Amino acid sequence: MGGLGSGRKRWGYRASTVEESLTLEISGFVMKLLKSTPQILPNGTLNQGDFSGEFGFHKDNDGLLMWVYVDYIDIIRFKQTYPHFGGVRWWFACPSCHRGVSKLYLLPNAPHFHCRTCHHLTYRSCQESRNVCAQLDRRIRRWLKKLGGRQNPLYPFVEVPDKPKWMRWETYLQICLTISALELRREQVFVAEARKLSEFLRKSL
């Protein structure tokens, strides 16, 4: 990473214009904390590209936390590890998977801070189901073409055309059944994806 030349570094965050993400880096925030007095915890603003927000620190019974407010307020906790050569290493606890990570990202289409793995998993599962849907769409279109029809891209439901005069009823009914089975499968993939997405959002609150 780095060397893009466009990412400004200040207050421990960096926004990459390539990935259009807002990145929080642990090192910058820890530096800020170490320089502060325990009575006055640091706070500040985040301004980069399309993103602008605020952050601050707070202590509660479970220890130190950081709040970051960009589109929503995210609460980020910290983890510490103690390397055998001494000292202490700080990590963000990813708000979704709770693993210790050195960077958290906010993306334009995913307005909560998560680690790279969590963002990537959602992105990939969306991609996969989108591919499956596209494949099913293609198969539906192919069958419709056999009946001399086509799917109206602005209309979500398939309108099966009347039986072509030259086609046997048996064949026609078989194709109709195939099309409705494909439609049902497409619906199931869509619903499963919606469920996965709402589960992901629930976990990130």
Minimum distance, C-beta of residue 33 to Zn ion, in the bound complex (Å) = 22
Q: Are 176 and 183 in contact (CB under 8 A)?
A: no
Q: Is 115 in the site for Zn ion (CB under 5 A)?
A: yes
Q: How far apart are CA 204 and CA 200, in angstroms?
A: 6
Site residues for Zn ion, 86-105, by CB under 5 A, read 94, 96-97
Phi-psi region of 23 (alpha: psi -120 to 50; beta: other; left: phi over 0): beta
Q: Which two tokens stand for residue 42?
A: 């640091």
Residue among 81, 46, 49, 85 nearest 67 (CA): 46
Contact window for Zn ion (CB under 5 A) among 5-13, 39-47, 114-122, 132-140: 114-122
Phi, psi of 158 (to 5 degrees): -80, 130
Minimum distance, C-beta of residue 198 to Zn ion, in the bound complex (Å) = 18
Contact window for Zn ion (CB under 5 A) among 77-85, 118-126, 154-162, 169-177: 118-126
Q: Is 118 in the site for Zn ion (CB under 5 A)?
A: yes
Name which of 130 and 203 has its Cβ closer to Zn ion: 203
Name which of 97 and 184 has its Cβ closer to Zn ion: 97
Q: Is 66 in the site for Zn ion (CB under 5 A)?
A: no
Q: Are 53 and 64 in contact (CB under 8 A)?
A: no
- Identity of residue 195: R
Minimum distance, C-beta of residue 119 to Zn ion, in the bound complex (Å) = 8
